[in-house]
Structure 1
Amino acid sequence: MTRFPRDRFDDVADGPRVGAHRGAARRGGGWIVFAWAALATGVLVGVGVLVLALVNGSVQFNEGSGGATSAPSSSATSTPSGSASAGSDASEQPGGTATETPAPAAGASPSDQGATTLVVLNGTSTTGLAANAATKLGTAGWTVTSTGDAGTTGSTQTVVYYQQESQAALAQGIAQSLGTSAVQQSAAFPNADVSVVLGSDYAG
């Protein structure tokens, strides 16, 4: 190893350190580093939340509005659209469009049914109730087009629904054959002229 001749710099006596060295660390430097790290973490978290909100569709940017608006994630509207057909279920119970119509004092007889279609729907959890009611109506002379489930098991009252005002007397006669008097005009079952929804009050 090459050795250099001794010179005046070898005699510097400034403590144990010889030659160039770093100055003393400033006080509070650790807190500054921590503050910057916390700020960077907060920015990253905020960006992540905004990206997730945009992906999920909960925040929308509208043109010309100059900002973001928050929109509900889901909405639900309910409209009466129940239907009945042979071997199928009715999807909905009558909704707000149904109006209570005073029934005539005496119902029509089975001979007045003509081409009027009649379905019987089970609105309870009792198996075979619709078939039982259909048999009872058939014995009384009514022609049942089809039977099925009403799509709900919570019906407590048996109701005979009809679509046209001219079918009110027929609905009343069918209700009398089943031992009930509840009839109501409703367009909730468009696949039949008269629809019987059996409730838990039906004795069979």
Structure 2
Amino acid sequence: MSPAWSGRPIKDPITMARKFAKDRFDTHLHALDRVGAHRAPRRKGRGWIGFWWALGATVLLIVVGVVGIFAINNRLDFSNIPGLSSPSSTPVPTETAIPTAEATVDPALSVNVLNGSATNGVAASVSDTLTAAGWVVTATGNASTDTEPTTVIYYADASQEGAARGIAASLPGSKIVVSTGFVGSGAALTVVVGNDYVLPAG
């Protein structure tokens, strides 16, 4: 059975608590941020501290492992293990000589000779040399300049390269150039004598 009410008024608990003196459980240091008298909330950031320590240790282990692997690989020799031969050196490509036309003398091809030097009479001299070699010189004259450094044989078509080389063989030091600059001259090949040409003695 429930106890019977004695008829006396029940006092307010807050009022009752005020009548008792404070003990060690009611007083505490606020600097500790405690709740009640027995525990305090966890400080913020403690979980992240552990995480960063673990991450740092992991990175350190990875670095040590990589360095160790490189050190071991530099000391090991795999050349004697079957199937693990050292890579062969890259072959050096060899230059393939471009075939050139053989020097020929073709009397069917007409030749013009122009003096591109500052020396008079060289066009006639070259004409005589080529005629003696079997060429047909159709005309001689002066070039538009007298400062050409080198004697050049001009030909307009690749099929005439051999003939140009044949003329160059009679004029040491000369060079051949494929060009359409003298197509309108009426000759298949044109020789422009440069200042390197030396008149024969006598």
- Calculate the TM-score normalised by the size of structure 2: 0.47
Instruction: Pick the structure with more helix per residue.
Output: 2
Determine which structure has greater relative contact order: mean sequence separation of CA pairs < 8 Å that are 6+ residues apart, divided by chain length.
Answer: 1
- Calculate the TM-score normalised by the size of structure 1: 0.46
